[in-house]
Amino acid sequence: MGEQAANTSVAQTVALRKLQPGDVREAFRLGWRDFRLYPVYGLFFGGIYALGGLFITYALLWLHLPWLVIPVAIGFPLIGPFVAVGLYEVSRRHEAGEAMSWRAVLTEVFRQRERQMSWMAFVVLFVFWVWIYQVRLLMALFLGARIPASLEGFVSLVIHTPQGLAFLAVGTVVGAVIAALLFAITVISMPLLLDREIDFISAMLHSLRFVTENRAAALGFGMIVAVLALAALLPGFLGLPVALPFAGHATWHLYRKVSPREE
C-alpha cells in the first residue's frame, strides 16, 4: 500500500520547462500543420462546437430570452478547451506515430468519462454558469426591469443608454477576469489530463504554475486564442469549425513545449 501511495504521489508531479522565445509562434505553426494534415477531424469537432452554439442561440430566441443570447455567445468559447479533447488526441497520435482512425480517436474521447477529465468538465461548466449568473446580476443592477423582448431592442438598450454602457463596461471587466482565471487553470491542464494519469486538481495547479512562470508568453497565447474565438463568433459561429481546431492543436503543442513527450 505504501509503495502504491508513493507511486501515486510521483505521478502527480510533472516537471515543466520554461517557454523559450518563439515557442508560442511555433505552437501555432504546428497547430496549423496538424489541422491541414487532418482537416476532417478538425472540422468535425469544430463543427459540433459551432452547431452547439447555434442550437443554444436559437433555443434562447425560441424561449423568448433574447437578453441571454449575447452573454451565452460571448461565454460559449469558455467551454472550448473541453470540446477540444478530440483535437488533442489527434495531435498526440500524430506525434507518437500511432495510427489515425475515427474509432481510435473517438474511443479515447469517450474514455475520458472514466478519468479525471470529467471533473475538469464540471469545473469548466461551473465557470460558464458563474459567467451567466454574473450577467443576470449585472443586468438587475444596471438595467432593472427594462429588458426588451427582442434581441435588437436589447442591443439598442445596451449601446444607446448610460445604464447600458455602464453594464457593458463592468460586464466586460468581470468577464475578462473570469476568462483569464479559466484560461489559467485549463491552458495545459486539459492536454495534461489526456496525456498522463494525474488528478484534476494537480493538473490545474500545474497549469497555474505554467502561467505564473511564463506570464508574457501565456498572455500572448491567450490573447491570440481570444481574438480567434471572437472573430469566429462574428459570422454566427461559422468560423468556429476552423478556429477551434487551429487553437486546439496549438494548445497541445504549447503543452508539449513545457512538458515534452516521455520516451
pLDDT tens by residue, 188-210: 999 999 998 899 999 999 999 99
Give counts: helices (H), strands (E), the chain.
14, 0
Q: Is the pLDDT of residue 2 over 50?
A: no
Of the chain, the percentage scoring pLDDT greater than 90 comes to 37
Average pLDDT, the chain: 84
In this prediction, residues 36-57 reach a mean pLDDT of 87
**Which of the four pLDDT bands, split at 50, 70 and 90, describes residue 75?**
low
The string of DSSP letters for 21-90 reads TTHHHHHHHHHHHHHHHSHHHHHHHHHHHHHHHHHHHHHHHHTT-GGGHHHHHHHGGGGHHHHTHHHHHH
**pLDDT grade for 95, boundaries at 50, 70 and 90:** very high
| pLDDT in the model for residue 188 | 93
Q: Residue 10: what pLDDT?
A: 40
State which amino acid sits at residue 254.
L
Residue 122 half-sphere exposure toward CB, CA atoms < 13 A: 9
Average pLDDT of 120-126? 85
Whole-model pTM?
0.83
Position 53 scores a pLDDT of 77
pLDDT at 208: 94
Q: What pLDDT score was predicted for residue 30? A: 97
CA angle (233, 237, 238) in 5-degree steps: 115
Per-residue pLDDT at 51: 84
More confident residue, 150 or 9: 150
Task: Please state the domain extents for the chain.
Answer: 22-258
Residue 214 has pLDDT above 90, yes or no: yes
- Mean pLDDT calculated for residue range 227-240: 78
Residue 235 has pLDDT above 90, yes or no: no
